[in-house]
Structure formats: C-alpha cells, structure tokens
Structure 1
C-alpha cells in the first residue's frame, strides 16, 4: 500500500544539509519524463543546501545540462535501442569516490547492474538506501517480442526492491499495482508537478498552427512523447484510422522523435510531424491542439496528461494506473479500455466535434492541474530522507 509523508521524528535536525548519492540509468543523455523529474528533485535539494552527486551513464551529446554533480559510470549501448545505455556496475574507483563523498543516503532510480551494486555498497556503508520506480520496465518486453520473459523480469524486480528503507512510487494506484504484483510491499507516493507558468492556455498560437498548414476551423489531436512502440503508437494509428472511416474531420499533430518514427509515419500518412520540441515550443504545441491522446499503459504517472491539463485541453487516455490517477473520466477527459479502438474514436469524436464538451473538460483539467506544485512535492521527498537519516 502507499503511505503518506510525515515530518521528521523528534531528534532529527531539520536544518542539516544532507549528502545524497543518486544512481540513474539515464540522467540526461536522452530526455524523458523520469530524468526530468530526477533533475528537478536534485535542483530542489541543492537549493535547500543539500549536496547531490549523481552516478549515471553519459554521452558526448547530452540532451540537457544536468542538475547536481554528474559522475560518468561505465556503460554499453542497448542492442536495438542504441540511444539508450545500460550501466555495467561500480568499478573500484567509483566505490572509492562514493566512500569519499560519504553520503547520508543513497537513492536508486533504475533496477540495472549499477543500481544493484549501489544497493550492496549502501548496505556495506550502513546508510539508508531508497529507490524510486519510474516506469513499468517489465511491460516493455511484450512490445519487442519477449513477453515470455516477463515473469523472470518481475522476479528480478522483487529482488531489487526487497529490503530497501523506502520505495517511492509516482501514484497510489501504481503503488497498489506494485503491491499486487508482489514487487513492493509498501511504497510512499512521490508525485509529479507541472510548471504552470510554462504550460497554460495562453500559449495557444494561431500563427503557429497556420505555419503547419492547420486552418482555424480544423480540430487537432496531439500526441506527445518519444516515438517508441511502448507509447502505444499502434493504437494512435488505429484510432485515427477509425476516425477517418467515420468521416470525423481532424488533424493529428505528432510531437516527438524516436526510433519508431518511420514505422509510425507509414501508419499515419496524413499526420503533421513537428519533431522534438522544448522550451516554449512544447507548451505552444499543447495549447494549440484541441485534445491529447495518450494510449500508453507503461506510464507510472503520465506527465503529458498533466501538461495537457495545465494547457486547458481534454485528455483521452488508456485506463491504466499512470493515467487514471490524473484523468477524471467524464470530467477532465475520457479513460478508455487500453485495447478499445472504437472507444478511443468515440472519446476523440466527442471533443473534436463538441466545443462545449471540449471547453468544459479543458477548464476542469486546468483547475485540477493547479494542485501539482513541484516544490511541495519534492519537499516531501526531502522530509522522508530526513526521517530515514
């Protein structure tokens, strides 16, 4: 089950700066929701006077500048997914570096060889070891023809998370899923926030839509994310194909890049591919659409849902733990059974053709997004650290 945060016990020094060693499989070499959350956490911790040393694979072309002090660890490319790397563990020189750093707490964010080695070292050092669960790694196998390996993957996860001082899950629903799978017995919720100054309805731009060939009276479905199979690209393609068969006017706007782009583009030949967008360009894309589609079932939180809500547009998403925690069915959008293509088409049709329903859901989502504040959320993680230290 998920547990709530509490203030540190009597006797803990709430003002003492902590030294935190964070271990990540991808801290900044490819941009994704998980490492964006980790970087925000580290930046917050350092603003509070803590010192964070991050151990992760690196590349010569990082996606963004990292927060904290980043230490490169040995790694190799993942076969078939060369943009990602897997950390190989902790050589003796890095173990010495960690001992010299003398962390108060160790935070693991991936169940890779690096995470396993750091867990073992933390136990030897006698410091608390915690982990955060950012994605449903065990489900990825099914998208690449290795579904038969899922039981073995789940057993590995059980061993990795066993005996830790705390495990952070992104939502209470995801924490319950982990408990039902027997992977984690108890989890504390570390949610996500949204930058409301960056993502808001005021970012909508008719001029940008015109530049893409979108007319004022055309309704746009946005898909935002890395173009990889586990994001549900096949379901997006099937849903818009169904809309076309029904004669429902729409434009599909795809924001993101990834190794599955060529395959996806062949499935949705009429789509507009805007590529990877960052800075002010990403919130402009959200606000310039009428509805977001997110059929992924591998998310543990669904950052794109929250960003769309803050941008004032409805969300049509798969009814899975990472989406159901944010999207209130019939209020801020629609939740659809993951494989129900007709259900996706029905929900999209509603928001594409009914401006009043679209406006009501967008307003409800905008209101709900106001509760997700990054500093408050990350402050709770620091409070939990202090409890354990």
Structure 2
C-alpha cells in the first residue's frame, strides 16, 4: 500500500525566508529543449534548468501532488486513488508546503525558482504519462549535467538540492532505481551541510525519506524522517498535525527494519494527535489505524490488530453508512485479523458480508483483481474449515 495522500497547503511559515534573487533568460537548447538560466545572487552562480517549451508539451493534464513524497511515481500509478479503502486520503491535514506546491503561493522571491521546478516536474510527468520515456530521460539528464557542473564547481546549496530532488523523483517514476540511489548520495552530501531552517529543506528530506524506503534503505529513511520531524516539532510543537506525514513515514520505515515497538509508539502518537485535533471518530484516523493494524498482524499480534480494524469499521459506518463500499473493505481487513486470530467462522461471515456490500454498492467492478483476491481468500478459508 502506498502511504501517500493529498494535503492542502497553508501559507508557509514567515521566518523561512530566502534572499535568493532570480534573473531569467532563455536560450536555445538541443532537440527543442529550452534552457532557462537562474542567477542565484546569494551563491554567485548560474544554474540552468532545461525545460520543454510550452508548445512542445500537451498541457491538458492536471496532476495531483502527493504530500508525503510529491513523487511522480505515486501519480503515474495505474490506480491513482488505490483500490484499497485504506488509501482514502485525509482531505484537510494542514502541512508545510512542498517546493512543488508553494509555487502558487509566492513567498519572498522564491516563486520564480519554484515555478520553474514545478514546470520541470510537470513536463517530466507529462512525458512519462504519454509514454515518452526517452524524452523524459533526455530532459532529466540535461538538468543533471547542469547541476553536476555547479556542484563540481563547489556550489552545494539548497538550489542544487532542490533540482536534484526533482531529477531523482523523475528517475524514480521511470524505474531507474540504481541511478536514484546515486542521486540520493549526491543529495545527502548537500543536505548534510544545510541548516535546518533552510527553505524547502523539509520537503526535500521528506522526498528523500520516501525514496530511501522505496529502495529498501530504511535506516537512511528513518534518519530523513526524524530530521524533518524534529524541525517541524520545533516550529509547530509536539501535537501539531503538521507532523502527521513525516511520522507516518517514520513509523513505516521503523516497522520495516524490525523496530516494531518504536513503530507502534509512533502510530499511537499520530492517532493521539489526530484525536486531539479532529476527534475520536474522524475519518483521518483510518490511515494510521490501518498501518498499525497491518504491522501488528505481521508481528503475530492479531488481537491488538483486531481492535484497530474494528475502529476503522465503526468510523466508516458512521461517516458513510453501513452500505458503503469502504465499509465492505474495512470488513475484509477485520476478517483477515479474525482469521489470523483463529476465529474462522467470524472471518467467513465478515468476508461474505463484505463482498455483498462491495457488490451492491458498486464500489468496484466484479472482475477487479482486488475483488477476485477477496473471493479467493474466502474460498480458501471455507476449504480450510471443510465447508
């Protein structure tokens, strides 16, 4: 399951101000790629972002940016919203702005640079969704060569980190994980020397944490998420909902390296923060409850996991009514916990009811692969108990 979810952007905190002045001019690049030079006066260097001219790319797309990573990979998946009920996105968590969505909220001279990052991000995403992988790679490579020249010349600041971040996200979507790992090493070299109050740093660290997790490098992921969490905690306090996204990433990474007790503590902390801000019956609790439940099942603690899934079921019933497809999906998760716990008859009844609810609500097509898997689970369970 992907842990990414949409979050709206409030105004960025006032003290994270940048004195970067941007001067733009364009020049002709190879194969229709335009080069835009960004004069960063505070570094006395000249970074060039290569972009596709507007007329060269169809602008019919409107892409969503996922807050936890902002990655292209999350957006170009076959089922953007995921078929599992647990991927239902909390719609209104407050959060700090990412470098990709702050472009519509200009702050202290950074807007020009960020708009260019947004344009580069969207150009690459459009190419990938249209199947133009070679064009996307050419565009990413052109920007990589440019930022590498700057770093070789000794310029290793926030701007270099931000451009590398976009490039890494692009290669992540393409599937070149080996090069993503190489880019993360370059980014690590930069972010290690940056102060925690640098603008955009939290967003870059979040992306790095997510990409490290995708590469199976969970120890590195934990370090990124902890640094973000510490930064935001210092700014907003320990009970702020701004902490939700990095804490969820941290919990997942901790669980993946076997630090289950700590991961469970982090999930409970997320749940407590949301209860204080949204109430005990908020739908926003579903995501951490599902992560917690899955982790507990994996660790053989089915009884504790059952409590989490029961709570999810009750939340969905209250919010959507008993005949909604999400209720059916919650029943399936609870049925799985019941099965692991050894309550086969209860699990069978839950699976049957869940399939009826999902079918009657038209929540998904009957030939959907997830629906088929649920039917197979039920059939295997019936076979196991001799029915």
**TM score, norm. by length of structure 1:** 0.29
Larger Rg, first or second structure (1 or 2): 2
- Bigger strand fraction: 1
* Structure possessing the higher relative contact order (Cα contacts under 8 Å, 6 or more residues apart): 1
- Bigger helix fraction: 2
